[in-house]
A and B are shown apart, each in its own frame.
Chain A
Amino acid sequence: MGTVVRDYVIPANDFTVAGEASSRVRKILTQLGVSPDIVKRTSIAMYEAEINAVIHGNGGNAHVEIDENKIYIRISDEGPGIPDLELAMQEGYSTAPDSIREMGFGAGMGLSNIKKNADILDIQTEVNKGTTVNITVFFNRP
């Protein structure tokens, strides 16, 4: 079975490299001939999750698996976790400090944006332990 696997380290609070992993994945999907539409949805979902890990999670890891049907992305951090996931999923809800907002991030659209673009979104989170965001996007939606 052909599966392409990638692992990336997401550094904490470093905005200069934030988005690098999703940018690389976008290039891989393009080389694999995945349609531009799916590439876009994937890269937006992954970018948002990556930014979240940078802003809230003290950085973390991105693990990516691509086969002929789908892409699976796991972004995990060992940050503070999300106390109320339901609340955090609401558009506009944000816990980002002003300094982050001034940079144009932290508008409270991250998680809802991921949900909008992913086919399957599964978030595992525990306060003081960390958060794992599992994203799946299918290439041919059933």
Chain B
Amino acid sequence: MEQEYFHSVTLDKGRCKGCTNCIKHCPTEAIRVRSGKAVIIKERCIDCGVCIRVCPYHAKQAVTDPVDMIKNYSYRIALPAPSLYGQFGPGYSRERIVLALKHYGFDYVFEVARAAEIVSNASEKYMKNGVVKKPVISSACPAVVRFIQIRFPNLIDNLLKIEAPMEVAAAIARKEVHEKYGIPDDKMGVFFISPCAAKVTSVKVPLGNQKSKVDGVLSMKDIFLPLLDIMKKQGEVTKEPFSLSSAIGVAWAASGGESDAVREGRRIAVHGIHNVNDILEQAVQGGLDNIDFIEALACPEGCLGGPLAVENPFIAKVNLKYEIEKIRQNQAHRVTRTENADEFVWKSKVEYKPIMKLDDDMMKALEKMQKIDEITEGLYGLDCGACGAPSCRALAEDIVMGSAKETDCIFKLREKVSSIATQLQQIE
């Protein structure tokens, strides 16, 4: 049970002041403040990282694997997310970054950008087959997939049933290393260099209980300075250390990259979890039947805006753009393709998690809903958050579900105190 609800996003209690920032911004109303500290409701959290971004006290964190974990493996493979190339300013080319990873201690580097190109290619084929419901919704962002799982069960069938680039990269890298160097699978350690908290969760608790081919997820934040150090000492890079992706895969780091790569039909690229919510709302009501593909990324500006990225996403976008231009002009890099894309079609089902449900018994659920309506009616409707719930309605729900009481509302408490005061005066 514990394992089922592992989350990368966690709270540092010591730093939490119990303010209302995170509860007000959480897209699934998964946070409450209880006894002066934030509490994450595990079933509801989708690891989108919004709370990490809005907490002024940095009390919300994403747990990743320690960088020293790579020492546990004799052969180490790095899978850098394309967003890594946006973190260092001009002069720090992709070639330098990849080489620096090698000096850092990785024996092999397989760019997730290359896997992204394979996923794009597979997506095109998949959409041409017409077997999937339209609009097809990208499954590359794990936070969005989990969001759909708990909020939009009707859109589960619209999800692109192809593994995310990170998993595809891990599978191919393992195979390549085995074929080229004969390294046995259990000697390899495969590490994703991540801007994303939700990816940690999807490695530890993959959808449908499949085992991830990734062994560890390292935070871009943890590896940024060591890489910069190495690059400063490193001379000019004359030779490419590994085969690299074309511009298409690198562009996946920013919003619009994936949908541009698909090339098929009318495509939406939406980013930021609240914007994603608006688009999915429209999709579920049939309002987007004229759209073929939706790229939906939980973070603002896409993966470049991930909670573990170092650089401001707008600046990172400039760095990335420069790199993409260079790759395009150079024309040396081929788009990565694979013959057997079927290999990467989902083997397990993504299931609806009805965590918003009030009761398994419909009659009881109706009674609870009525009770919630009544209590909400009696509250002040300020949605101030002082009670620890994100809105008056959410407090009413918590009261009926037994996790809060009416006097958690400071206005209700004031009413009660003044009524007690009146009673006391009457005693005289």
* Contact surface of A with B, Cβ cutoff 8 Å: 2-4, 19, 22-23, 26-28, 30-34, 36-37, 39-40, 43-44, 47, 66-68, 104, 113, 139
* Contact surface of B with A, Cβ cutoff 8 Å: 153-154, 281-282, 284-287, 290, 352, 354, 356-360, 362-363, 365-367, 369-370, 373
CA of A37 to CA of B157, assembled, Å: 12
Known A30-B354, A33-B354, A40-B154; judge A66-B285 contact (CB<8 A). no
Residues of A within 8 A of B285 (CB): 19, 22-23, 26, 43-44, 47
| Contact in complex: A19, B287 (CB < 8 Å) | yes
| Contact in complex: B366, A67 (CB < 8 Å) | yes
Residues of A within 8 A of B354 (CB): 30, 33
CA of A23 to CA of B154, assembled, Å: 13
Known A19-B287, A33-B357; judge A4-B362 contact (CB<8 A). no
Give the shortest distance, in Å, between A54 (CB) and chain B (any CB). 13
Closest residue on chain A to residue B290 by CB atoms:
A104
| Contact in complex: B357, A66 (CB < 8 Å) | no
Residues of B within 8 A of A68 (CB): 362-363, 366
| Contact in complex: A44, B286 (CB < 8 Å) | yes
CA of A64 to CA of B284, assembled, Å: 20
CA of A68 to CA of B365, assembled, Å: 9
Residues of A within 8 A of B356 (CB): 27, 30-31
CA of A3 to CA of B363, assembled, Å: 9
Give the shortest distance, in Å, between A33 (CB) and chain B (any CB). 4
| Contact in complex: B153, A32 (CB < 8 Å) | no
Q: Could you list 9 examples of A-B contacts with CB < 8 Å?
A: A4-B370, A19-B285, A26-B284, A27-B356, A31-B356, A31-B357, A32-B362, A32-B369, A33-B362
Residue in A33, A34, A40 whose beta carbon sits within 8 Å of that of B284 in the complex = A40
CA of A104 to CA of B362, assembled, Å: 37
Known A33-B354, A33-B360; judge A2-B366 contact (CB<8 A). yes
| Contact in complex: B363, A32 (CB < 8 Å) | no
CA of A34 to CA of B367, assembled, Å: 15
Give the shortest distance, in Å, between A139 (CB) and chain B (any CB). 7
Give the shortest distance, in Å, between B196 (CB) and chain A (any CB). 27
Residues of B within 8 A of A33 (CB): 354, 357-360, 362, 365
Give the interface centre of A33, A37, A40, A104 by most chain B CB atoms within 10 Å.
A33
Residues of A within 8 A of B290 (CB): 104
| Contact in complex: B358, A4 (CB < 8 Å) | no
Closest residue on chain B to residue A30 by CB atoms:
B356
Closest residue on chain B to residue A35 by CB atoms:
B153
| Contact in complex: A36, B153 (CB < 8 Å) | yes
CA of A91 to CA of B109, assembled, Å: 56
Residues of A within 8 A of B363 (CB): 2, 68
Besides the known contacts A32-B365, A33-B362, 19 further A-B residue pairs in the complex with CB atoms under 8 A apart = A2-B366, A3-B366, A3-B370, A4-B366, A4-B370, A19-B281, A19-B285, A22-B285, A26-B285, A28-B369, A31-B356, A32-B357, A32-B358, A32-B362, A33-B357, A33-B358, A40-B284, A43-B285, A104-B290
Closest residue on chain A to residue B397 by CB atoms:
A31
Residues of B within 8 A of A44 (CB): 285-286
Give the shortest distance, in Å, between B157 (CB) and chain A (any CB). 10
Residues of B within 8 A of A23 (CB): 281, 285
Residues of B within 8 A of A19 (CB): 281-282, 285, 287
Residues of B within 8 A of A2 (CB): 363, 366-367, 369-370
CA of A4 to CA of B373, assembled, Å: 9
| Contact in complex: A31, B369 (CB < 8 Å) | yes
Give the shortest distance, in Å, between B248 (CB) and chain A (any CB). 30
Residues of A within 8 A of B369 (CB): 2, 4, 28, 31-32
Give the shortest distance, in Å, between B191 (CB) and chain A (any CB). 38
Residues of A within 8 A of B281 (CB): 19, 23
CA of A34 to CA of B370, assembled, Å: 16
| Contact in complex: A139, B284 (CB < 8 Å) | no
| Contact in complex: A36, B367 (CB < 8 Å) | no
Give the shortest distance, in Å, between B284 (CB) and chain A (any CB). 7
Residues of A within 8 A of B373 (CB): 4
Residues of B within 8 A of A113 (CB): 286
Residues of B within 8 A of A43 (CB): 284-285
